[in-house]
Structure 1
Amino acid sequence: MARLRDCLPRLMVTLRSLLFWSLVYCYCGLCASIHLLKLLWSIGKGPAQTFRRVAREHPPACLNDPSLGTHCYVRIKDSGLRFHYVAAGERGKPLMLLLHGFPEFWYSWRHQLREFKSEYRVVALDLRGCGETDAPIHQENYTLDCLITDIKDILDSLGYSKCVLIGHDWGGMIAWLIAICYPEMVMKLIVINFPHPNVFTEYILRHPAQLFKSSYYYFFQIPWFPEFMFSINDFKALKHLFTSHSTGIGRKGCQLTTEDLEAYIYVFSQPGALSGPINHYRNIFRSV
């Protein structure tokens, strides 16, 4: 009996782990099936257009607008990765570091670069695997530990020990974790559209409705298929994210311009450009 009592806790942990991963992959399969049905439906409606994917060859002028700041690159010694960022404002001023979400890149912060450059050294970073920043091939290179270390190394490379840290969506998750792991690096923390990680984890486990709303987390666990879905029909799904009533910018007069939308399509139409951002999500359950 004593031996059984000793083994019981380990057995419970094993069973909980098996149940957790069974639920994850069953839900992944369900999400994939739903998206596959949508794909087959679109094929039936317009087969001539469904699989057309057009990679943009020339960047729109807005990506090289000098009023937004200067394009810079820095190579991190430990990881060997080259990071791209756009910086505005004088060197020596307090640093404001901007971390974008998905599916985005530095250009999402174009308004903030103009607005705050008089008071701060504003840096809009392309996260690992996004935009012009290097994108490692292997999924294991996108763990939360790697992403947190990236921000710490970037801060060191810029010559700062602390910053005003602002994150949106997935960048908000990273910003929370930076504040938790390295509070001395954060003068002020602003997080947009992402709750505290502990709150989010507890809430999603207790509220099934949120599980369905966050179904894309599970869909992104599937190899290559999410990238395919985003890119078919000339990146129609990507355009939908930015322009639809449910996920696009809602305020009148604030919608993306045609040139803005073309900037996003240009970046994500480059070969392999979707895999890096999606790989961020492919490690989330291991982190949880």
Structure 2
Amino acid sequence: MARVLYNLVIFLIRLAMQIKVVGYWSLIYGYCGVCTAVALLKLWWSFILRPTAVFQWAVRETPPACLNDTSLGTHCYVRIKESGLRFHYVAAGERGKPLMLFLHGFPEFWFSWRYQLREFKSEFRVVAIDMRGYGESDLPLSAESYKFEHLVTDVKDIVEYLGYNRCCLVGHDWGGTVAWLFAIYYPEMVTKLIVLNCPHPSVLADYAMRHPSQLLKCSHFFFFQLPRFPELMLSINDFKAVKSLFTSRSTGIGRKGRWLTVEEMEAYLYALSQHSRSCVLYNHVRSPVLLLWGERDAFLEQDMAEACRVYIRNHFRLNIISGASHWLQQDQPDIVNTLIWTFLKEGEGRKSYRD
């Protein structure tokens, strides 16, 4: 009898777990389906009201002047032999100085690091790249080309092409995830790791599974897996969705910081009009880590920031920036730069970055 009761209890527990999992993912995909349906209804309504305007956008053949600002650095290109892709990057600071490499997020490009390029070029060779599929870097032909293993290899190849065997690595958003993984795969190549508004990949995976609210905030991950539809929705009405992403009250830049100028907004739209498409190993990080987090991040819950501590085997510093949005290096550049300088001076100091 006891054996039968035991088996019954185990069966009921497993059944409850399966129901929970099915219900959980039904909720998420149902939410994504509702969002897609709403987007289609908006598209249909816009087409009814202004049929000729929906699928039109301004032709941007000439980059805004701010992209050619010589104070930001020199525009350079490198073709990686193994992947065959050509990467664009902007570099400043003297050659031979320690390398500080910047990885941007979505839907950005090298320009998102403009304040940091000016700030750190006095002590570093600063390089901000356009990751594959963004800005002036080549667009791979398949979604498979955006696997993390390829993105991490891109960083390694670029660091070595620049003549370095290690760097201070800085990443934000999508680029932050790549930075975390690069520090895991190639710890000997990262002197210090600085991540902005992006949790350790294991923290995000675990937290999102236990908190539906966070998974709903990440629902755009699922949306971007659809073929062609995301590009369409981002580009209609002259990239209206992108403009809203950077300027709206809930997600935009500058509520308590620096607003994007009209020219800076045009720089993003120019880069997106060229092309843009972004369709594991999770372990401990051995490099010293600085994690900066915008208090007003509309996409990531703040509780994940502190949870990253368990994956760091070295010095870990977390700074929550009051009033800052998800785009904090542009929103609060002075505070971000000061915190980065403080972190760089700790322990080894700046001079130890020299190869």
Q: Give the TM-score normalised by structure 1.
A: 0.84
The SS at the match of 2:107 is coil
Q: Report how far residue 267 of structure 1 moved.
A: 1.2
Question: Residue 11 of structure 1 corresponds to which residue in structure 2?
Answer: none
Structure 2 contact 101–168 (Cα < 8 Å) conserved: yes
Tell me which moved more, 29-38 or 131-140: 29-38
Select the structure of larger CA radius of gyration.
2
Provide the residue aligned with 1:6 in structure 2: none
Cα distance between partner residues in 2 of 1:260 and 1:198:
34
Deviant stretches of 4+, over 3 Å: 22-31, 41-48
Moved more, 208-217 or 162-171: 208-217
Residue 112 of structure 2 corresponds to: 108
**Structure-to-structure mapping, 1:144-183, within 5 angstroms:** 144-183=148-187
The equivalent residue for 1:229 is: 233
Residue identity in the other structure for 1:65: D
Deviations 1:190-222 (CA, angstroms, capped at 9, x unpaired): 110110100100010111111111111111111
Q: Give the C-alpha shift of residue 39 in structure 1.
A: 2.0
Partner of residue 95, structure 1: 99
**Residue 41 (structure 1) shift:** 3.5
Instruction: Identify the range of structure 1 (42-51 vs 101-110) with the bigger mean alpha-carbon deviation.
Output: 42-51
User: How far apart, in 2, do the equivalents of 1:41 and 1:197 lie?
Assistant: 39
Q: Structure 1: give runs of 5+ residues left out of the alignment.
A: 1-14, 280-288
**Size of the alignment, in residue pairs?**
261
User: Structure 2: where are the runs of 5+ without partners?
Assistant: 1-17, 280-355
**Deviation string, structure 1 residues 136-178 (Cα, Å, up to 9, x no partner):** 1111111111001100111111111111100000000000001
Who is 1:132 aligned against? 136
Alpha-carbon separation, structure 1, partners of 2:85 and 2:69: 26
CA contact (8 A) 2:67 2:111 kept: yes
Partner Cα distance (2:59, 2:271) in 1: 9
For 2:190 and 2:96, locate their aligned partners in 1 and report how far apart those are by CA, in whole Å: 17
Task: Give the match for residue 260 of structure 2.
Answer: 256
How many angstroms does 1:261 deviate by? 0.5
Local SS of the residue matching 1:205? helix
Structure 2 letter corresponding to 1:235: F
Q: Which amino acid aligns with 1:237?
A: A
1:22-42 deviation per Cα after TM superposition (whole angstroms, max 9, x unaligned): 757655534322321232343
Residue 47 of structure 1: how far off its partner (Å) = 3.8
CA distance in structure 1 between the aligned counterparts of 2:204 and 2:96, rounded to whole angstroms? 36
Secondary structure in 2 matching 1:85: strand
Q: Percent identity?
A: 64
Alignment partner, residue 37 of structure 2: 33
State the match for 1:215 in structure 2: 219
Q: Which residue of 1 aligns with 2:251?
A: 247
Partner of 1:198: 202
Distance 1:32 1:130 in 2: 24
Contact 2:100/2:168 (<8 A) preserved:
yes
Structure 1 counterpart SS, 2:53: helix
CA deviation string 1:28-80 (max 9, x = no partner): 53432232123234334544432222231111111111111001111111111
**Is the counterpart of residue 120 in structure 1 residue 124 in structure 2?**
yes
> Which whole-Å CA distance do the structure 1 matches of 2:49 and 2:221 have between them?
28
Q: Which structure has more RCO (C-alpha within 8 Å, separation ≥ 6)? A: 1
Q: In the alignment, is the contact (CA less than 8 A) between 2:132 and 2:138 conserved in 1?
A: yes
TM-score (normalizing by structure 2): 0.69
